[in-house]
Amino acid sequence: MSKGVRVSDPEARLMRLADGAVAPAWNVQVATSNGFIVGIDPTDRRKDSGLAPALVETIAERCGRGPRRLLADTTAMTRQDIVKLAERHPDLTVYSPPPPERTEVTAETLRKRRWRRRHEPPAVQAWRARMASEEGQEIYRRHRTGARQRQEPRHVSVSGAWPGESPGRLRAQALALNLRWANTLRRRIVAAAAMAMPAIA
């Protein structure tokens, strides 16, 4: 997601924003787990593709181990990313829909497409099979409905809101959101424990 910044920011670059305007901005990558922001990476690159491996490395360094599952949009994951992640994090399972392909093609084009698929790296073949399965599609579907309903507000809050925001300020806001969510969970635990206590006659 692109985020507007001050024109004087030397590292920002011009990007086309959601409203069609062109302005200096950051493309902010956010990783969440169970409602917590576990990684945030402001970058001056316009496109999301190719950024996932570095974000996973950041999470592994900060948390002491890499994630077991990665759910990403189609535009955020390339075949090269999948191969690199499989090499560095063999326990990580990637769920990301393949980009749509044209169905009205010639027999020769279809033959070449099948040939390329047979010669793809094993990690890419496993990913394609996973996303073609009902289980893989259901896991990603749950991500797009339930998980996004819980976590996207944090994405929007971190990536938007204030004009002139710097990467350092974005990270500070992510920390504040995590503390707020931790406090919310603590209150829920206390309330649940109080309800579970037996009544005193």
pLDDT in tens, 29-62: 888 888 888 888 877 777 778 888 888 998 898 8
Which residues of the chain fall below pLDDT 70?
1-13, 16-18, 146-165, 199-201
**3-state DSSP assignment of residue 105:** coil
User: 6: how many CB neighbours lie within 10 A of its CB?
Assistant: 12
Global pTM? 0.72
Percentage helix, strand, coil for the chain under 3-state DSSP, each rounded to 5: 50, 15, 30
In the prediction, which pLDDT does 12 show? 56
Give the C-alpha separation, 48 to 134, whole Å.
Answer: 26
Q: Give the helix ranges, DSSP H, for the chain.
A: 52-63, 79-88, 107-118, 122-132, 134-142, 148-159, 167-196
**3-state DSSP assignment of residue 93:** strand
CB 69 within 8 A of CB 95: yes
In the prediction, which pLDDT does 111 show? 93
